[in-house]
Amino acid sequence: MRSLVTARGVLEGHPSPDGALVLSLTGALDASSTGQAWRNALHLIDVHQPRQLIVDASQLTYCDGAGAALLLELQRHQQSRRLTYEIQSLDPAYQALLELYGRWEAQRPEPLAPAESPIEQIGRATAAIWNDVVVLIAFVGQLSLALARAVRQPGLVRWRDAFVTAELAGVNAVPIISLLGFLLGLIMAFQSAIPMRQFGADIYVANLIGLSMLRELGPLLTAIILAGRSGSAFAAELGTMKVSEEIDALTTMGLEPVGFLVVPRVIAAVAMTPLLSVFAGLLGLIGGAVVMLSLGFPLVTYIIQVKSAVTVGDLLGGLGKSFVFGIVVAAIGCLRGLQTKSGAGAVGESTTRAVVSGLVLITIVDGIFAVIFYYLGI
């Protein structure tokens, strides 16, 4: 408890042999001092079980809502057990306060609905997942239509928003993507070089870095950073717009929120993700090169080895994945933003859902690509 007010009300009990208990109140009975008096009173009543309870309020100098609550509680306690209760010498002003608060004594609010059983919870969660899938499918349809319209009538796209978003989500992400790409390449090369060296295979570290960074990890790393950095930002931005009724305003103006807000963001993300992915791959290769140079291989050997291991198909495969990751992350971020409910916590919830859904979808899409590439022999 944070201490606020120094005035203390004191409650003392004086039991008598005939089964009566006199509680004398002295000083101020306010919100900060009633707690102790409340505990004392209930303890004394518990110990003495009085047939008659008398509250002597002649020394009571102040009583507020908390004090009134105590006096009403004592009264309720005795009356519910059909025992006697009496209050003596209470200032008329405090008597009026008791009457004011006592007016609703008999009324109790409707209790909360009982908690759901686990089966109900599982059912509700399953229904929620199913609803989410339905909403997602509907949103994919809406977005596809809006994108198709954007292709047919590019003049309708808000290019200014798209460029601003491209700068925020793309250009501004270059430092973090570069740093993480470089470190990923460096660490992977270093960790793999040690065991591979035992077999004299350390030159193949170049193959490992080249293939994994350009085909798999570069796009994946970029998509994860995009989900955490921009997907969440889209959700927060659109969520705040939803809470402040800006989305409703757009709708009543006859502007489709998906076309107006989501399409520019998706275009920006689709344009930027492959570029960032190339950056991540390139910096990963540089990280690998640093390790290879430290192992004594000349740079030209490393480059030739990477070129021999990585085909244009690998590079294009990686770029294709990035393209899809960009759509997925931007779209899910915007969808979660548009789904925001009201209240202060809603935007935070949407942001979290945007990141989690983004990561789940990235993983699923990556798996689908792995299968497709396998059958296509890429």
Partner 1 sequence: MIHRSLSRETPIIAVRNFTAGYDGHVLLRDLSFDIYPGEVFVILGGSGSGKSTLLKHMIGLYRPVAGSILIEGRDIVTAQGQQRLEILARIGVMYQQGALFGSMTLLENVRLPLEEFTDLPDDAIDRVALMKLQLVGLGQAAYKLPDEISGGMRKRAAIARAMALDPPILFLDEPSAGLDPITSAELDQLIMSLSKHLKITFVVVTHELPSIETIADRVIMLDKRTQRIIAEGLPQELRDHSDNPWVRQFFNRQVEAAG
In Å, how far from its chain's centre is CA 273? 24
Residue 38 binds to partner 1 (criterion: CB under 8 A): yes
Size of the residue set binding partner 1 (CB under 8 A): 39
Q: Does 112 bind partner 1 (CB under 8 A)?
A: yes
Of 97-105, 146-154, 210-218, 226-234, the segment contacting partner 1 by CB under 8 A is 97-105
* Beta pairing class for 9-15 and 20-29: antiparallel
Report the amino acid identity of residue 353.
R
Q: Is 342 in the site for partner 1 (CB under 8 A)?
A: yes
Which pair of tokens denotes residue 156?
């309708």
Sign of the torsion formed by the C-alpha atoms of 235, 241, 242 and 243? positive
- Alpha-carbon distances of 83 from 21, 54, 295, rounded to whole Å: 12, 11, 92
Is residue 119 near partner 1 by the rule CB under 8 A? Answer: no
Q: Report the alpha-carbon distance of residue 93 to residue 272 in Å, rounded.
A: 72
Minimum distance of partner 1 from residue 92's CB (angstroms):
13
Residues of this chain, 2-21, that bind partner 1 according to CB under 8 A: 2-5
Stretch that binds partner 1, among 100-108, 159-167, 170-178, 204-212 (CB under 8 A): 100-108
For CA atoms 27, 33, 36, 38, give the dihedral sign.
positive
Q: Is 100 near partner 1 (CB under 8 A)?
A: yes
Q: Which among 8-16, 67-75, 146-154, 205-213 is the span making contact with partner 1, rule CB under 8 A?
A: 67-75
Strand-pairing partners, residue 20, are 52
Question: In sequence order, what are the beta bridge partners of 23?
Answer: 13, 55
CB of residue 115 vs partner 1: minimum separation in angstroms? Answer: 13
With CB under 8 A as the contact rule, the residue among 80, 107, 153, 198 that binds partner 1 is 107
Q: Which residue lies nearer to partner 1 by CB, 242 or 265? A: 242
Q: β-strand 20-29 against 52-63: which pairing, if any? A: parallel
Closest CA to 179 of 133, 225, 144: 225
Nearest residue (CB) to partner 1, 6 versus 198: 6
Our finding on whether 73 is near partner 1 (CB under 8 A) is yes
Among residues 328, 226, 220, 365, which one has the least CA distance to residue 284? 220
Q: Name which of 112 and 376 has its Cβ closer to partner 1.
A: 112
- Nearest residue to 209 (alpha-carbon basis) of 282, 285, 276: 285
Unique residue bearing structure tokens 């992400």: 173
Choose between 212 and 340: whose C-beta lies nearer to partner 1: 340
**What is the distance between the alpha carbons of residues 226 and 177, in angstroms, rounded to a whole number?**
9
Q: How far is the CB of 241 from partner 1 (least distance, A)?
A: 18
Interaction between residue 72 and partner 1 (CB under 8 A): yes
Q: Is 345 in the site for partner 1 (CB under 8 A)?
A: yes
Residues binding partner 1 (CB under 8 A)? 1-5, 30-32, 34-36, 38-39, 42, 64-66, 68-70, 72-73, 96-97, 100-101, 103-104, 107-112, 342-346
